[in-house]
Amino acid sequence: MRLKKYTDFALRVLILTGSKEEGELASIKEISETFFISTEHIRKVVHQLSKLELIHTVRGRNGGIILAKGPSEINIGQVVRWMENDFSILECFNKDTNQCVITPSCKLKHVISKALAAFFQILDDYTLEDVLENKDELKELMSMT
């Protein structure tokens, strides 16, 4: 069971960007170097987070990335839902490609749906602010690379 790599990367972009002091910008290069993730991947994730209005990108020589809203307004469950986007946890969850003949009467689909709802119910209880509660510790770890 996995989340997409891009979901993982997106959460890290938000953590690093959210750990900055007010007005301080993060950069793609910095995020890439901190987490050993290619700038290409980070660029794509930043683009997507920007489209989701979670971050603003500031252009120019002193440009960079900044959160578009307060950490308490960025819900972890919502970020994961947006980034995952495809919830074909089993074949039958994708109507377009599903070939499973028992789908109309299958109780398993409901069990898995219920479990998925429980998963998100937990994530929905947390915001980026909760994840950044120990910001200073995180900043120290991020400054080591």
Q: What is the DSSP secondary-structure string of 20-35?
A: SPTTPPB-HHHHHHHH
* 3-state DSSP of 54-104: CEEEECCCCCEEEECCCHHHCEHHHHHHHHHCCCCCCHHHCCCCCCCCCHH
Instruction: Rule CB under 8 A: say whether 101 interacts with a copy of itself.
Output: yes
Residue among 2 and 95 whose Cβ is closer to a copy of itself: 2
Find out whether 31 and 16 touch, Cβ atoms under 8 Å: yes
Count of residues near a copy of itself by CB under 8 A: 50
Q: What track of x and - describes contact with a copy of itself for positions 43 through 82 (by CB under 8 A)?
A: ---------------------------------x------
Instruction: Rule CB under 8 A: say whether 3 interacts with a copy of itself.
Output: yes
Residue among 60 and 104 whose Cβ is closer to a copy of itself: 104
Find out whether 45 and 57 touch, Cβ atoms under 8 Å: no
Only one of the segments 24-32, 44-52, 63-71, 132-140 lies at the binding site for a copy of itself (rule: CB under 8 A); that segment is 132-140
CA distance 20 to 114: 37
User: Which residue in 1, 18, 56, 78 binds a copy of itself (CB under 8 A)?
Assistant: 1
Question: CB-based contacts of 75: which residues, under 8 Å, 6+ apart?
Answer: 123, 124, 126, 127
Chain positions contacting a copy of itself, by CB under 8 A: 1-5, 8, 11-12, 15, 34-36, 76, 84, 87-91, 99-102, 104-108, 111-112, 114-116, 118-123, 126, 130-131, 133-134, 137-138, 141-142, 144-145
